[in-house]
Each structure stands twice: as structure tokens, then as C-alpha cells.
């Protein structure tokens, strides 16, 4: 009961503090504004973990069902070599390779489709078909084709990331207005000049939207693909193995590493987007 009361008191205190922080008038002080913008989500996340810890201990939830955050953190600190090996196998090899190949091929095919109405009628339905394939059906086939190492997981990632990039790039290339295109024609611009100076800049928000979506899809695809065959290393392999051993704290440790890696990857793409599309109204007003 004491743990539950402590959780309730901490939640009320954190809620009150966050409300006070949000109500602070920063004026033109950008340093204070950025500090508050970072502090508010940090306190919110900390509140979730503290309440999780107190509720699990207060209700005496078995660790097999839900271990407390302190137990997960202890497992992380004691298993850093294993977690690093799994991260390197899954993220640094399969995810990054598949992400680059999938997004790059989707972008190039979108350029071809933009040049050819025939390809647009033929490849877009095919891409839609490929995107609808269930990953649990594709992953075993990729393992049979490319082997048990990271190459088969990268192939699954390519399939998952190709279509979002293709569709978003095609839509982005069509986003430039007729007036702007007419102006480029009056300058006797070639297709490549119009593409580089008008249509690609207009399509940049769409392209980065696909890159951000794929940054999370790629990690999910690689982890799930490892359930169907992999060397004795990798996030998906570790999760499936430790679940069978009832080592749920290790499973949560892998989940935590995957969540941090995915969030960092997404944040990196978002930072690049802000640097490249600084001219976009949503970036200038700070809504993205």
C-alpha cells in the first residue's frame, strides 16, 4: 500500500510541476524555451518509469509478467557486451543496409515512374502488392534465399521500406504547382533542371516523411525477421530465446535498446530534415 501511495503522490507532484513549466512565459528567451521543451517530456517519461516501479512493487506483480524498471536497468548494465553484439548485428548491419537500399531504390524507381506513364501504371500496383505481403510470410523466404546472416534481414527491410519511399516521392514530385512549372518552361529549363531546382525541393517534405516512417519500420522488420532464422546473435534472436527461458528482464532490456535505437534514428532523420527543409513554413514556425 505504501508503494501505491508513493506512486500517487509522485504523479500529482510531477503533474503540478509540468503544468507550472508549461505556463512559464519565456518571452524572447530561446534558451529557457528550449530548456523547458526538453524538461517537460523528460519529467513525463521519468514519471512513467517511477509509477511503473511503484505500482509493480506495490501490487507485487511477478517479474515474469512485468519486471520493474530497476530490474531491467540492472540487466542492461550487466549485459552490455551481449546487448552491443545484438545491436551491431541487427541495427548496424541489417537495418542500416536495408534502409539505404530500400529507400534508395524506392527513390530511383519514383524518378523512373515520373518519367514514364507506362511505368506508373505498371510499377505502382506492383509496389502496392509487395507492401501488402505479410512480413511473417516473407521473412522465411528471404532466409532461404539469402542465408541465416544479416543479409536476409536486410532483404526484409528493403521490402518494407521500398513502397513508402516510392509513394511519397511520387506524390512529392507532383506537388510543384502549375505556375512554377510554367515559369520553368519559360526559362527553357530541361527536365533535369526543373527536377533539381523546383520539383525535388518541393518534394523534400514528402521524401523526409518517408524516411522517418522507414526509420522505425526498418528496425521492426529486422527484429521480426530474426525470429525465423539467424546466427546466435541479434535482437530478435535474443528476444525469442530469452522468452523461452523465462528471462523476461533480458527481453525488456532488448526492447529498451531497440526503442532507444529507433528513437535516436528517427531523431537524426528529423534533424537532417530541419537542416535541409529550413525554408518550409512548418519548419520556420516550429510546428515540425
User: What pLDDT sits at residue 138?
Assistant: 81
- For 16-65, the pLDDT digits (tens) are 887 777 777 777 777 777 787 788 788 888 888 888 888 888 888 888 88
Q: Among the listed ranges 22-31, 85-94, 103-112, 243-252, which one has the minimum average pLDDT value?
A: 22-31
Q: Mention the CATH class of domain 75-284.
A: mainly alpha
Q: Tell me the pLDDT tens digit for each residue of 183-220.
A: 667 766 776 777 777 778 888 888 999 999 999 889 99
- Residues 6 or more apart in contact with residue 144 via CB below 8 angstroms: none
Q: What is the C-alpha to C-alpha distance for residues 195 and 131, in angstroms, rounded to an integer?
A: 27
The band of 265, judged by pLDDT with boundaries at 50, 70 and 90, is very high
Q: How many CA atoms lie within 13 A of 181 on its CB side?
A: 12
Nine-digit cell string for 119? 511505368
Examine the pLDDT at 101 and tell me if it is beyond 90.
yes
pLDDT digits (tens, 9 = 90+) for 126-181: 777 776 777 777 888 888 888 888 888 999 999 889 888 988 888 888 777 666 66
pTM of the model: 0.81
Burial 19-36 (b: 16+ CB within 10 A, else e): eeeeeeeeeeeeeeeeee
Higher-confidence residue of 269 and 26: namely 269
Give the pLDDT band of residue 284 (cuts 50, 70, 90): low
**Inter-CA distances, 266 with 215, 246, 273, Å:** 6, 31, 11
| pLDDT (0 to 100) of residue 20 | 79
Amino acid at each position: 500500500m505504501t508503494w501505491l501511495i508513493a506512486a500517487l503522490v509522485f504523479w500529482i507532484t510531477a503533474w503540478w510541476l509540468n503544468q507550472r513549466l508549461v505556463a512559464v512565459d519565456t518571452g524572447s528567451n530561446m534558451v529557457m524555451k528550449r530548456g523547458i521543451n526538453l524538461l517537460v517530456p523528460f519529467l513525463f517519461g521519468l514519471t512513467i518509469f517511477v509509477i511503473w516501479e511503484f505500482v509493480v512493487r506495490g501490487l507485487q506483480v511477478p517479474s515474469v509478467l512485468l519486471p520493474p524498471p530497476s530490474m531491467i536497468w540492472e540487466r542492461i548494465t550487466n549485459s552490455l557486451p551481449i546487448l552491443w553484439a545484438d545491436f551491431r548485428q541487427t541495427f548496424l548491419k541489417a537495418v542500416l543496409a536495408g534502409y539505404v537500399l530500400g529507400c534508395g531504390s524506392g527513390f530511383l524507381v519514383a524518378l523512373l515512374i515520373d518519367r514514364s506513364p507506362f511505368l506508373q501504371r505498371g510499377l505502382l500496383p506492383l509496389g502496392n502488392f509487395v507492401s501488402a505481403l505479410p512480413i511473417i510470410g516473407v521473412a522465411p523466404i528471404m532466409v532461404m534465399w539469402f542465408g541465416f546472416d544479416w543479409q536476409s534481414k536486410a532483404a526484409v527491410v528493403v521490402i518494407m521500406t521500398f513502397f513508402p519511399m516510392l509513394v511519397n516521392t511520387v506524390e512529392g514530385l507532383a506537388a510543384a504547382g502549375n505556375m512554377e512549372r510554367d515559369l520553368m518552361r519559360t526559362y527553357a529549363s530541361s527536365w533535369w533542371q526543373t527536377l533539381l531546382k523546383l520539383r525535388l525541393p518541393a518534394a523534400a517534405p514528402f521524401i523526409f516523411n518517408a524516411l522517418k516512417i522507414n526509420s522505425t519500420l526498418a528496425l521492426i522488420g529486422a527484429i521480426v525477421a530474426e525470429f525465423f532464422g539467424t546466427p546466435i546473435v541479434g535482437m530478435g534472436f535474443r528476444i525469442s530465446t530469452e522468452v523461452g527461458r523465462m528471462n523476461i528482464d533480458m527481453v525488456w532490456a532488448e526492447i529498451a535498446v531497440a526503442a532507444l535505437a529507433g528513437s535516436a534514428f528517427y531523431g537524426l532523420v528529423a534533424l537532417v530534415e530541419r537542416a535541409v527543409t529550413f525554408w518550409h513554413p512548418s519548419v520556420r514556425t516550429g510546428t515540425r
